[in-house]
Amino acid sequence: MTVAGILNTNTHSIDRVLNAGLPVMLIFWRPSTPMPPTQQQALDELAHSYAGRALLARVNAEEEPALAHRFRVTATPIFLLVRSGKVEIALASDEARSHVADWLAHFVDGKPQPTVAARPANKPAGDGKPLTLTDASFQQVINQSLPVLVDFWAAWCGPCRMVAPSVEKLAQEFAGRAVVGKLNVDENQATAQRYQVMSIPTLIIFKNGQPVDQIVGAQSYQALQQRLSQFA
């Protein structure tokens, strides 16, 4: 794939970008925290100079919460250097992003590693917490290629509070392999009714937008882990 410019990618196109056979720099941003014009210009120039050797792809984290969760992004802007679908380097600080050309040369061309610090591959770009789902965002989240575990819960539900730590732990353990989300049934009744959630907690696993497994009641972490592992 040869692209002379920055791609705009989303839940539906991200896997095509990552599987194009080239190193990828994912640029997560939000309209509420735009990048300085000088940095945007530098990225445009890099996209043209690396055409055919690397892809630069932009993700609006406000419009694509599922992708932000998948890559464990909580703060923007952040630049993720990805190879074979795996994040190897995260440029999260202002200082690291100001040396993006040097980091890209290191990542793509094997040039010496810049001395300015970047986040290593084994430290996630975010806190690994479950994604908060709503009626408005639900369909977009479950339609992605990764399996999605949704915890249907309510604030007044004692068993929901019992299972909550397990759901948090699943979000951390399965980061990059599955999406874990929580939907408050009192605040999002349309989705709860759509999937006939009559008792909580109910946890439903979705694959390609369709429910493939359902767990009703508070279960142990090991039980939830085993069920999700069948799809992730």
Instruction: Quote the strand ranges of the chain, DSSP E.
Output: 7-8, 24-29, 55-60, 78-83, 86-91, 119-120, 131-133, 148-153, 179-184, 202-207, 210-216
The yes-or-no answer on residue 157 being catalytic is: yes
Catalytic pick among 46, 160, 171, 215: 160
By C-alpha distance, which of 88, 160, 85, 92 is closest to 130?
A: 160
Q: In what order do the strands lie in the sheet with 7-8?
A: 7-8, 55-60, 24-29, 78-83, 86-91, 119-120
Active site residue 32: no
Catalytic residue among 157, 171, 175, 179: 157
Contact 100, 94 (CB under 8 A): no
The set of catalytic residues is 157, 160
